[in-house]
Structure 1
Amino acid sequence: MESFKNINKNRGLQYLIGIGSILFISFICYLFIDIIGYHVVALLLLLVVSILAMFFKILPVVVAAVLSALIWNFLFIQPQLTFKISTPEDALLFLMYFVIAVMNAVFTTKIRKAEAASRKRKEREKTIQLYNTLFNSLSHELKTPIAAIIGSVDTLKESRKKLSADNKSELYNEIEIAGNRLNRQVKNLLNMSRLESDSIHLQLNWYDVNEIVYNVIENNKLDCNQHQILYQPEDNLPLFLFDATLVEQILHNIVHNAIQYTPKGSKIEIKVSHNSEDCVFEISDNGKGFPEENKERVFEKFYRLPNSATGGTGLGLSIAQGFAEAHNGKIKVRNRSNGGAQFTVTIPAKMTDPKNYQNE
């Protein structure tokens, strides 16, 4: 792919390849002229010109087209090894070939340019749409916690003596929740930036997954006071070799998504298992699940289900998918038969018994 990009930028190389292709095909045809006939040679040379026109700029293709016409006349049309054409039919055939070859080169190149312009326009429109979506999401996601922090601070400053200890504690709690919300959005933007710039470098080490899951539960405590997170630790799990920060972020985003979009009182259950090659996490809830027609879109950037509650940028699951893929892993989602959704995160990882960790 990289070599093709270099060829596409180097016009001199395009001339060389174009002329070389015509000469090579002409030489092969010349060896078998008694078998295939000069009409077939014309078709083969036109095919080469058409293929060149699909990839190269217009001038190298026109040069190849003109050269193919001249070679066809000189080597294949009777009398051979001369530019003289003996019959009116061959003269007309040559003229038609010349016109068709040049027109084919010009029109195919122009079509490619039009398609490239159309692609750029669509990409620009898509980028503008994504920026608008991001701006609309962030305007709400940032404005709400900032307003909560400013309001709580103003109340504490103006009514400090009148507030009871419980009131102050409640305001401090609101500031903490709003600060965590802001921090989460900034983290999401930074993580998405890392994914799009392909600057994810795994920091591999041996980790206890129970500890990672406990961190996820702890970090979601403030948001899940009306939900229940269930986890039964597995004492016999091995240590896994992966990037714990990214794996924790994957689980955090999925759990937070469940907290945000399931009804109050819902249960979120986390399970961990493994096979010979993978560490497997299952995060399930007893909410409403996903509409089947929208299920495959949940990992798209900025995508939010229709009629979903306000809040959220639609980045969390996309980032989770990106971090899983950075480990050569994957995330699958399905609706449970008894209601709710289940995310299965599969992370390929080496593993070792904790007793043998000292020897690793």
Structure 2
Amino acid sequence: MTVAPDTTLARARTDGSDHLVEADDLIAGLQHRCGGEIPGAIAIHELRKLVKKAREMDLRLARTIRAFDGEERITAWVEVTPYEGASESGCAISVATWQTSKPTRETEDDAAARRDAIDNALAELHARLDPEQGILTVDSDAEDLQDLVNEMLANPGKPWTDFVTVAGNHHAQPLHWRLLDQSRCEIDGSPRQWTARLIPVGAPEPGSDGFELYLVADRAWVTRTSRRRAENDTVQAQLGRDLSPVLRQPISRIIANAETIRTKLAGPLTDEYSDYAADIASAGQHLLSLIDDLSDLEVIEAEGFTTAPDRIDLGDVARQAAGILGVSAQEKSIEIVAPPKDQICPATGEFRRVLQVLLNLIGNAIRYAPEGSRIRIELAHNDKMAGARVIDEGEGMSAEQQAVIFEKFERLGRSGDGGSGLGLYISRRLARAMGGELTVDSVEGEGATFTLMIPSAAEAN
């Protein structure tokens, strides 16, 4: 009998809390470069998610993970196996392949095409225009756009600008398409603000065959009657309770297969199709994040929801959150300035919920802060409250935006950020459930400061 050779390059082990407790040099080195420690929380973001999923599902999972250590992009095929029996908890990790490459920046054309695809997916009205921007066809299921759709269909050939109000523009319409692309619009009968996208069709002259018109809203449509709100809440609960376990496994399989294709482990593939696979994997990750948000929404809005308070060090939680998201920050050349290791901030709260809130705040800061900027995490406490401030150098928010930022499904018009608009709503509910609060302070053009406050804990004797 021929025994197949062991192709394992490195091994590691986690405990029941998904902390990395042992690791060979290959994994240990990446863990340290990503800001983590051994023993300590897994700082390699995709590996942490894979371990958590394998442990919760009690299934052996294998897939490609990606990481960035500050200088090189790492692609590895990883297998995670939960330990059997009650004598030992946690998972065994083995690495079969390990590839490194220098990161490549997306070209301007690639970035533009990706933005167009995102806006196409998010648009609530699609129309086809002729070369003079006249209406040919239009389609929308949005409740607050039905009057607009009916009017457009009744007047084919008229410029689309006859049916909307282009913000800040009183010139004769239609203008050149480049001046109208990404313009803000108001629509009679709709309380929402809209962004128009004009995608030219035809070559060599863009627009020679007409245009695709997308209208993207600044926020999701929510009817304000109590009956509709009750229906929405019921739908959300059903999604979180019924669809979450059903969808997770097939979506995870789609992501794993897409990653296998993208990294060309299954065989040679042109770059074009590899990029398609990357888009599929990215969309799958977004769906999983949305499912997580909907599941959390069901939990926190359930009657009698409580947390499990314990004595924690808010400084340690902040440092762990910074370490976990260190790779994401490095990919945008953003520096996370975490509290020093000797700074202790005793507090009372549920560890995993506090970590969840801080991950959301730091993740948002990374998403919206400019490349090359800094994100600072500062601590403060007194006899009653302990606080962690996440301070970014982004574009900031107006007073009107700050007033609605914690509302459900609110995204402040950031239609292409991939978020669900639930993260800050859930985070504030969690903070209040722990006897604390989550607030924001911002000045336009000067960044934003989110402050998490939870009850303080007495210093240890």
- Normalised by the shorter chain, which TM-score bucket? 0.5 to 0.7
Are 1:293 and 2:396 matched, yes or no? no
Any gaps of 5 or more consecutive residues in structure 1?
1-119
Q: How far off its partner does 1:228 sit?
A: 2.1
Counterpart of 1:205 in structure 2 is 310
* Superimposed CA distance per residue, residues 143-164 of structure 1 (whole angstroms, 9 cap, x where no aligned partner): 999876543223456743789x
Q: Which one of the candidate residues 146, 151, 162 is aligned to 2:258? A: 151
1:71-82 correspondence to structure 2 within 5 Å: none
Matched to 2:320, the amino acid is N
Matched residues in 2 for 1:322 and 1:152: separation?
A: 35
Matched residues in 1 for 2:319 and 2:236: separation?
A: 33
Any gaps of 5 or more consecutive residues in structure 2?
1-222
Matched to 2:309, the amino acid is L
Length-normalised TM-score, structure 1: 0.52
Higher strand share: 2
Counterpart of 2:427 in structure 1 is 320
Matched residues in 2 for 1:252 and 1:175: separation?
A: 25
Are 1:123 and 2:226 matched, yes or no? yes
Given that 1:149 and 1:179 are in contact with CA atoms closer than 8 Å, whether structure 2 keeps it comes out as no
* Superimposed CA distance per residue, residues 303-351 of structure 1 (whole angstroms, 9 cap, x where no aligned partner): 1102443310001000110011001211111114870011111112322
1:173-322 correspondence to structure 2 within 5 Å: 183-224=288-329, 225-226=331-332, 227-233=334-340, 235-322=342-429
Q: How far off its partner does 1:249 sit?
A: 1.0
Counterpart of 1:107 in structure 2 is none
Q: How far off its partner does 1:272 sit?
A: 0.9
Counterpart of 2:449 in structure 1 is 342
Matched residues in 1 for 2:373 and 2:307: separation?
A: 34
Given that 2:345 and 2:379 are in contact with CA atoms closer than 8 Å, whether structure 1 keeps it comes out as no
Aligned partner of residue 295 in structure 1, secondary structure = helix
Give the aligned CA root-mean-square deviation in angstroms. Answer: 4.2
Q: How far off its partner does 1:289 sit?
A: 0.8
Q: How far off its partner does 1:237 sit?
A: 2.4
Matched residues in 2 for 1:332 and 1:194: separation?
A: 22
Given that 1:298 and 1:317 are in contact with CA atoms closer than 8 Å, whether structure 2 keeps it comes out as yes
Matched residues in 2 for 1:154 and 1:255: separation?
A: 31
Aligned partner of residue 326 in structure 2, secondary structure = coil
Matched residues in 1 for 2:356 and 2:445: separation?
A: 28
Higher helix share: 1
Moved more, 183-192 or 316-325: 183-192
* Superimposed CA distance per residue, residues 200-225 of structure 1 (whole angstroms, 9 cap, x where no aligned partner): 33222222223211221122234322
**Distance 1:173-1:245 versus aligned 2 partners, 3 A rule:** farther
Matched residues in 2 for 1:307 and 1:241: separation?
A: 34
* Superimposed CA distance per residue, residues 174-219 of structure 1 (whole angstroms, 9 cap, x where no aligned partner): 9997776555433322211111113533222222223211221122
Matched residues in 1 for 2:419 and 2:390: separation?
A: 19
User: What is the aligned-residue identity percentage?
Assistant: 26
Matched residues in 2 for 1:155 and 1:149: separation?
A: 10
* Superimposed CA distance per residue, residues 40-73 of structure 1 (whole angstroms, 9 cap, x where no aligned partner): xxxxxxxxxxxxxxxxxxxxxxxxxxxxxxxxxx
Counterpart of 2:203 in structure 1 is none
Given that 1:146 and 1:178 are in contact with CA atoms closer than 8 Å, whether structure 2 keeps it comes out as no
**Distance 1:342-1:236 versus aligned 2 partners, 3 A rule:** closer
Q: How far off its partner does 1:297 sit?
A: 0.6
Given that 1:331 and 1:346 are in contact with CA atoms closer than 8 Å, whether structure 2 keeps it comes out as yes
Given that 1:246 and 1:323 are in contact with CA atoms closer than 8 Å, whether structure 2 keeps it comes out as yes
Larger Rg: 1
Matched residues in 1 for 2:320 and 2:286: separation?
A: 17
Moved more, 235-244 or 171-180: 171-180
Matched residues in 2 for 1:124 and 1:157: separation?
A: 51
Length-normalised TM-score, structure 2: 0.42
* Superimposed CA distance per residue, residues 83-120 of structure 1 (whole angstroms, 9 cap, x where no aligned partner): xxxxxxxxxxxxxxxxxxxxxxxxxxxxxxxxxxxxx9
Matched to 1:288, the amino acid is E
Matched to 2:228, the amino acid is E
Given that 1:297 and 1:303 are in contact with CA atoms closer than 8 Å, whether structure 2 keeps it comes out as yes
Aligned partner of residue 350 in structure 1, secondary structure = coil
Q: How far off its partner does 1:247 sit?
A: 1.0
**Distance 1:150-1:130 versus aligned 2 partners, 3 A rule:** farther
Q: How far off its partner does 1:293 sit?
A: 1.4
Matched to 1:125, the amino acid is R
